[in-house]
Every structure is written in C-alpha cells, then in structure tokens.
Amino acid sequence: MERESMEFDVVIVGGGPAGLSAAIRLMQLAQEKDQELMVCVIEKGSEIGAHILSGAVVDPIALDELIPDWKEKGAPLNTPVVDNQHWVLSETGHKSLPHFMMPPLLSNDGMYTLSLGNLTRWLAEQAEALGVEIYPGFAGSEVLYHEDGRVKGVATGDMGVGRDGEQKAGYTPGMELHAKYTLFAEGCRGSLSKELEAKFALRENGQFQTYGIGIKELWDIDPSKHVPGRVIHTQGWPLGNTAGGGFIYHQENNQVAIGFVVTLDYENPYLSPFDEMQRFKTHPEVRKILEGGRRVAYGARAINEGGLQSVPKLYFPGGALVGCAAGFVNVPRIKGTHNAMKSAMLAAESAFDAIVAGSNGETELSSYEDAFKSSWIYKDLHKVRNARPALAKFGAKWGTLYAGFDMWMNTIGLGFMMPTLKHIHKDNEATKKAADCQPIDYPKPDGVISFDKLSSVFLSNTNHEEDQPIHLQLKDESIPVSVNWADYNGPEQRFCPAGVYEYVGEDGEEKRLQINAQNCVHCKTCDIKDITQNINWVVPEGGGGPNYPNM
C-alpha cells in the first residue's frame, strides 16, 4: 500500500508549547497580511498535552507577546507565585537561603505555577480557532527530502505492524506531509531532530548538548498545609557531589507538584535518579508536606541543560529546530517554556516572510537565527551561560558557588569579565566503571511516601500496543551484556525511571537484557545516558506512551 500525501505551507512536528506557538504566530501573521496559509501540527501523544511534563513555574513573557489578552481568553495561569524559598538540605535538616543572597534573575516574581499540559491544551484551542489543523496520535517517524537534499516534510509512522515487522490485519501505511517549511518542535532529544543535527552538521560550530532527568509526581495534600503559589527549590541531600535538586510547587486545587532533577553526567553507575527522588521525599521537611496526602500522577522527562554553548545551528534547507528540540532551557532559573515559545514565534516569522516572498523552501531561514541572537532569549541564556559548565568542572558545591558569583557579575553589568566556560564531557562518557564506584543502598519504598517503579508507571497511564516493533533499538545486541553488564553492572536498570530495562538470568547463567518497551514513558534518558550510545530511541506507533492528565 502506497502512502498518501498532503500538502501544506508549514508542517510542525510536535504539539507542545513551542509547536503550537509557531502555529499560532503563523496564522496571526496570515490574518494580518490577508494571506492564505495552511498549517498542520502533528503530535505523537494520544491527545494534545498527553506527553507534556514540566514542573512548572512559567515566565509569561512569551505568552504576553503571543496572546496579549490571554487572561481574558481563560489561559490556565491561575496561581501566581507568592512565596519563593530555596532550601539547602542535610540528611535531617535544612537551611533556607535568604532571598537577598540570590541573584535577582532567579526571582520568581511575576511567574505562575501551573500544569504545562493544561496550558498546552489551551494553546491548541487558540490554534484551532485560527484555522490550524492539529493531528494528535500521529508520530513523525521519518524525515522526507527533496532530490536536492532539502527537507520536504515528514512521514507519520505506519499503524498495525507486528513485533516481527510483518503487517497485521489492520495495517495502515503512514501519511506523507509535504511542506514548504517543516519546523521540528519534538522537545528534548527528538529522534528526527537528532537525525537532522547529524545530516546537516548543525553542531559543527557549537558544543554538544548536556542533559538532566526530571522525575515528577503530583500530590493531593492536606488543605491545611497548602499555600497556593508557594515555590520551594532544594539542593544538597541526597545527591552529595552530583548536581541536581528538588522542587515543590504549591499549585491550585490543593495540589503540590514535587519533583527531582539529576544531571545525567553523574559518575556512579549505581546511582538511580528514580530512587534519589523517592529518598528525597523522605526528608523530614518534605515528608511534613506530603503526610496525609495522596499521590495522583507520576512521570519523567529529560531536560536540556547545555544552555547557550549547546544551541546548534537553528536552520537547515527546508526547515528549522524550535523549542527544546534545539535547547533553550535556563538551567539556574529552571525555566524553558518562555524561551521555547519565543524561539518558535521567531521561526514562524522567518518562515512566513520567506513564503510571502515566494519561496517554496529554497530560501533558508537564516533570519530566524539572526532574530534569536538579537532576542531576549539570547540575553536570558547569556547571563547564565556558565552555570551548568561550572557544576561539571568544579562539582556540585564549588560549582554552585562559582555559578552564583558569575550570575551576580552579570547582574551588576560585569559579566564580560567572566570567561565563557565549555562543557567538559558528554553525559554518557562521564560514567565510571562499577569496580571504581560504591553501590548505593536505597531504602525500600514504604508505599506511603516512597514507591516502586511499576506502581509509579501505572500512574502515568502509559500504554503501548504490545504487538508492535520495539521502539528502543539496539545497534548491537551483544553490547548490553559484554559492556554494560560486564563493566558497569547494567546501569540501564537504574537510569531508566520506568523499569524498561531488566537483566534476567538465574545465577550461573549468562545474563540477558530484557526490554519492557510497553513501560516506556518517553523520557529519552536511555538514548542519552547509555554508555556506548547503543540504544536508539525512535517513535512507537502513534498515540502510544504516557497519558498525563495535568502534568
């Protein structure tokens, strides 16, 4: 069966805040210029917002520009930040850093804490009202190219293929979506974006990306403990000299979003980010907030942490990278939504201008990159450019102090005196062999405050068609046992927050890696942290994965 094809002016891969912001901006410009424009957004989640996970404390600066009357239109930003705390944790106690000691750029005044999934669903409503065609449940699985090498569009994945690769009774071939320009808004570590970076050498003049993993839970807590708009960030215990920390956001409806972020350049292969998160919740001060409450949702997602040094070339023949597909997270602020949205708006403006000028994709979107470099995104990232490299170079304690000094220098206008640091290693290359590290004894979950992986995955509403090709591909099936197990004690079992990777085999038998792909929450950690980069994450059948209600 041949694929059918559809023609658009712009195809956007990814229905998150960036992709939808691009779509909205394109249609706004079309209305302003009385120009007819066909814009399509495809989203691999079963519905818009199904795969969206973030803390989140959102800076509304981009939303103010995109939809100035968002309050009147009912955007779900209902909880302004009213109390900002930063805790340094020891195993049993904590110290709260005075707010005046923190660089002003870390202030959360004027910010909102909310469900990013709910904001994304609202953005989709605005986009559809403008005439954008949105197709959830369709995963972009292949980049299409013209004969001259330009991106032509994307193909969605085939439906109804069995695990053996054979077509099942309900087989339906994917659809080809052709466009003058294709914008890739897949989020962090997108599978197609990774291909484009390699094909067009987009990192030739920049650095590699670095990442963290964020693990989040949503709790209904005792109303007497709930302070809407209270925002708490933590550092220190339980991580020691590994960089990372926790967050506790009091959102609306007596709910608390609690999470933990671990940088993925950690050295000890015995470290488990999931178990660090569970241990974090047992701290006396954190436990106080959760006791008497009920956990209602769980999820995990990789986070771009490379900052300005790791932003690739943003455009290529026939398209561009926008949002977290490129990586605009401001690490010390723990915010990226505003930058992701703004980058998408800039790309949309560049694409619109090219189309109006008569381009069918031949004109590259270099004006997008120029606009980025003169925008407030660039300024936002430049002020904090040394925060993440400092942690890798000097460790969590001294790196934090260096980063704080660097940000203060930028605050008082002396940032030019601080040299720009470089990232020193890729995340997968930082892992030490098991023989050189100490195993970590994590406490057993109590089922009240701390939990195991499988019960957590259940709360993510993750579902994949079981009889489909495994979307976690091994380039060499011998490497997990010969390298990862033999030298590193199988770190896949620990860096995956969903129990996807499991070494099986009785004592005395040769171990075998079992991949429980149906558990995958699409965090992409395996694609990043796997030591030999032997795991390649590709999209499963459209609609598969988590189904987050309001994460």
List, by residue number, the catalytic residues.
Answer: 54, 301, 337, 496, 520, 523, 526
Whether residue 434 contacts residue 418, with contact meaning beta carbons closer than 8 Å, is answered with no
Dihedral sign (CA 65, 68, 70, 73): negative
Residue 69, SS3?
coil
Dihedral sign (CA 114, 12, 358, 366): positive
511-540 as b/e, with b when 16 or more CB fall inside 10 Å?
Answer: eebebbbbbbbbbbbbbbbbbeebbebbbb
d(CA 270, CA 281): 20
**Which residues have CB under 8 Å from 322's CB, separation 6+?**
18, 19, 22, 183, 184, 185, 314, 340, 343, 344, 347
What's the alpha-carbon Rg for the chain, to the nearest Å?
Answer: 23
Q: What residue ranges in 416-551 does DSSP mark as E strands?
A: 472-474, 501-504, 512-515, 535-537
How big is the chain, counted in residues? 551
From residue 354, how far is each of 181, 359, 365 by CA, in Å? 9, 5, 8
313's tokens: 């070339």
Single out the residue of 22, 320, 6 nearest to residue 150, CA to CA. Answer: 320
